[in-house]
A and B are shown apart, each in its own frame.
Chain A
Amino acid sequence: DIQMTQSPSSLYASVGDRVAITCRASQTISTYLNWYQQKPGKAPKLLIYAASSLQSGVPSRFSGSGSVTDFTLTISSLQPEDFATYYCQQSYGNPYTFGQGTKLEIK
């Protein structure tokens, strides 16, 4: 199985901050990497697919980058509604595995 490791596991930030969350794959996955946002009690929401493509309706302050094994989700200016848990997921090989999550909390 391809292991996905996110860092940090938790992150404290303030409204207006620029934040970055990283995701590392245990083997090459090209750009088969997706990012999701999950709020408590809710289903995950797709933010970024294919490493850098912004899903329709997602604010442009979210961006994704990276390839091969190392990827980054960047939020350019945090808004109050962005405090949530973020997951990366590889869509390269079965089983399609997720990272352990990064909880983004208000400082």
Chain B
Amino acid sequence: QLRLQESGPGLVRPSETLSLTCTVSGGSINSSGYYWAWIRQPPGKGLEWIASIYYSGSTYYNPSLKSRVTISVDTSKNQFSLRLNSVTAADTAVYYCVRPLSDYHTTFDYWGQGTLVTVSS
């Protein structure tokens, strides 16, 4: 059974960089045809897709966040990561790592439990 687990600081200071890692178990991040993604949800609000990556390193980003976001993959550790720089209070959210369907790589199937990141001084 595929499992995704987010990890990283729960509190980030304004203007600093948010860094999260997703550890994949029960499957290989190298699996052909699968992308990996990050989605976030501010408290009490809706969902926002942030970025996606293929195991080969091909990426695509939400244009509204592209200038501040980097998604990367470490196949040796079966992990992928998110970095969001210059954070503000508006970046406070539960961050989910996600694996989409193989044939529909922007349809989000397996989700991690989510991790709350609060931006505050």
Task: Report whether chain A binds chain B.
Answer: yes
Instruction: Tell me if A100 and B46 are in contact (CB < 8 A).
Output: yes
Q: Is B34 an interface residue (CB 8 A)?
A: no
A-B contacts counted at CB < 8 A amount to 53
Interface positions of A from 1 to 17, Cβ below 8 Å from B: 1
Interface positions of A from 29 to 74, Cβ below 8 Å from B: 32, 34, 36, 42-46, 49-50, 55
CB distance from A7 to the nearest CB of B (A): 14
The interface of chain A, by Cβ under 8 A from chain B, is 1, 32, 34, 36, 42-46, 49-50, 55, 87, 89, 91, 94-101
Interface positions of B from 84 to 121, Cβ below 8 Å from A: 96, 101, 104, 106-109, 111-114
User: What size tier do the contact residues of chain B reach?
Assistant: 10 to 19
> CA–CA, A19 to B62, complex, Å?
33
B7-24 interface code vs A (CB 8 A; 1 in, 0 out): 000000000000000000
The interface of chain B, by Cβ under 8 A from chain A, is 46-49, 60, 62-64, 96, 101, 104, 106-109, 111-114
* Residues of chain B within 8 A of A96, CB atoms compared: 49, 62, 106
Instruction: Tell me if A98 and B114 are in contact (CB < 8 A).
Output: no
Instruction: Tell me if A98 and B47 are in contact (CB < 8 A).
Output: yes
Instruction: Tell me if A94 and B63 are in contact (CB < 8 A).
Output: yes
Instruction: Tell me if B108 and A50 are in contact (CB < 8 A).
Output: no
- Chain A to chain B: the 6 pairs with minimum beta-carbon distance, closest first: A43-B111, A91-B106, A95-B62, A98-B47, A96-B49, A49-B107
> CA–CA, A96 to B112, complex, Å?
19
* Residues of chain A within 8 A of B47, CB atoms compared: 36, 44, 87, 89, 98
* Residues of chain A within 8 A of B60, CB atoms compared: 94
CB distance from A90 to the nearest CB of B (A): 9
Interface centre among A1, A34, A45 (most CB of B within 10 A): A34
